[in-house]
Amino acid sequence: MKTEAEGSLTIFSALSLLLILSFLLALLEGARVSGLKMMDTLAAETGMDCVAAEYQPVLWNKYHLLYLDGAYGSEQFEEHKVSSRVMEYVAGNLSKSGENSMFRTKLCEAALMEYMLATDNEGTGMLRQAAAYMKQHLPEDIAKKMYQQYQDGQQAQENGKTDYSVEDADQAIVNAKKEKEEDNIAQDKANEDQVQDAEKEKAESPIQVVLQLKQNAVLGMTIPDMSSVSSNAVELKDTVSKRQCETGTYHAKKTEKLNVFDRVMVLEYIEKYFSSYTEPGKGDLAYEMEYILCGKETDRQNLESSVERLMLMREAANVAHIIADREKLNQTLIIATSLAGFSGNLVIVKIVQIGVVAAWAYVESILDLRTLLSGGKIALMKSSSEWNVDIKKIGELVTDGGKAKECKDGLNYQGYVKQLLFAVKEKKIAYRMMDIMEFAIQKEENSKNARMDHMIGNMTCEMRFEAEPLFAKSNLHGGQKLGRYTFVKHQKMSYSNE
């Protein structure tokens, strides 16, 4: 008997095929979801890179610092300006995938979650950027030698500290003379002659010479032509260092202070990118290093204050030299004895001797500053061969416009300003640096309202993406209809390691 096979599909087979097809579509949809996540991640990363590429140009071109102007040149910092920019770039990247792509997705929302401004944490982030840049150009072993120089400078100042001054010595002589005059015990002729000799010596003493010199401004004694000093001035009431700055929302632990290596790098950065008296600039202030040190409104005020501080530093170092030199110390004792020996009081003689030391160091320091301000170099601690002033001719070199001879291995003027800056608090250094940066930015036509406390160094943005199911409209358990997929990304942008 012949039978003819007929094509047929049982209900079971149909259900099985449907189940297999649903399973395959579910797998395909699962793979698509993974692709959507990758697509969103790439769009978020690329979008944030595009935003980061809009860094403030003056800060990069002039100072090699990377910051995003969160106010985009306007007067007000508003988070939505940044988040809107993020949305614009991310949405643009997504649109390039095409409407017909199986990975089509869209960005529904972008919000700035946290961000750090240049002025946050007392400006430490900006200082770290500056230090990181200098590390690319300055070997660590050189930086360590420089740090040793800063320590040597501080040690020299410590060694040169004394309990008495030129003024104390002069007053001690005056008091001793009065005591002699008021002494009820009859003095013999020898004592009278001794007091008279002391009066004569007093009139010609180093102490009197220096007391006369101190009536003049230090700046006038160290710069030959005061008309050459810059007259530039700025208004400081609304600068970074004076105003109440914006604050970011970054919630990481407080940034640690700079280590000594980074601090040395910052000082080298300041010398490289900021002007000074011996290398004046063309900005709002011609002497920027002096402003960072002193924070005053005019170039002249900053220079004067800097020179006065340098004078104190050189005085201390020169006092330390005299004290360590037995021959010089003996000379000061001879002079002190001639001035105050009539008192018969060794304590008074000691006070006067210290005054003579201070007077000698003062005159030597004036000559040092003249050399530094004319572009020369002076050693932190001088050797005997580098010393200039003869105690017997202490006034002549000053009035004749003399200068100290250069020291081959000494520091120049900027080197000494850095010595002084090493002792200044990091916040003052950072904010005054940013004052100058802000002046430079605001000179640009499109950045007249720019502020350093609007500059974002790093930020985290939350982005919410949505996509529709494509291959599977319902799940396999119960046949419930699938809703939209929602993906949330937290994307970070950072110009530094903060």
pLDDT digits (tens, 9 = 90+) for 159-199: 777 777 888 888 888 888 888 776 645 455 445 555 555 55
Q: Does 94 reside within a domain? A: yes
- Residue 270, pLDDT > 90, answer yes
Q: Does 427 reside within a domain? A: no
Question: How confident is the model at residue 26, as a pLDDT?
Answer: 65
Query: With contact defined as beta carbons under 8 Å apart, do 469 and 480 qualify?
Result: no
Total domain count for the chain? Answer: 1
Question: How confident is the model at residue 222, as a pLDDT?
Answer: 93
Q: Which two tokens stand for residue 4?
A: 């003819």
Query: With contact defined as beta carbons under 8 Å apart, do 380 and 407 qualify?
Result: no
Q: Does 477 reside within a domain? A: yes
Q: Does 483 reside within a domain? A: yes
- Residue 12, pLDDT > 80, answer no
- Name the DSSP letter for residue 476: T
Query: Cα–Cα distance between 367 and 371 in angstroms, integer?
Result: 6
Per the listing, tokens 């202030």 go with: 285
- Residue 155, pLDDT > 90, answer no
Q: Does 96 reside within a domain? A: yes
Of 90 and 33, more confident: 90
- Residue 477, pLDDT > 50, answer no
Of 296 and 147, more confident: 296
Q: What is the mean pLDDT of residues 356-370?
A: 95
Question: How confident is the model at residue 273, as a pLDDT?
Answer: 96
- Residue 210, pLDDT > 80, answer yes
- Residue 443, pLDDT > 80, answer yes
- Residue 107, pLDDT > 50, answer yes
Question: How confident is the model at residue 96, as a pLDDT?
Answer: 67
Query: Cα–Cα distance between 489 and 105 in angstroms, integer?
Result: 13
Q: Does 78 reside within a domain? A: yes
Question: How confident is the model at residue 73, as a pLDDT?
Answer: 84
Q: Does 153 reside within a domain? A: no
Task: List CB contacts of 373: < 8 A, sequence separation 6 or more.
Answer: 222, 223, 277, 278, 307, 413
- Residue 100, pLDDT > 50, answer yes
DSSP, residue by residue, 362-395: HHHHHHHHHHHHTT--B-SS--GGG----GGGTT
- Of the candidates 271, 303, 272, the one whose C-alpha atom is nearest the C-alpha of residue 286 is 303
> What's the pLDDT band for 400 if we cut at 50, 70, 90?
confident
- Residue 483, pLDDT > 80, answer no
Q: Does 80 reside within a domain? A: yes
Query: Cα–Cα distance between 226 and 289 in angstroms, integer?
Result: 19
> What's the pLDDT band for 365 if we cut at 50, 70, 90?
very high
- Residue 363, pLDDT > 90, answer yes
> What's the pLDDT band for 60 if we cut at 50, 70, 90?
very high
Among the listed ranges 56-60, 64-68, 256-260, 323-327, which one has the minimum average pLDDT value? 256-260
Residue ranges making up the domain that contains 78: 14-122+447-494
Of 463 and 445, more confident: 463
Q: What is the mean pLDDT of residues 107-130?
A: 92
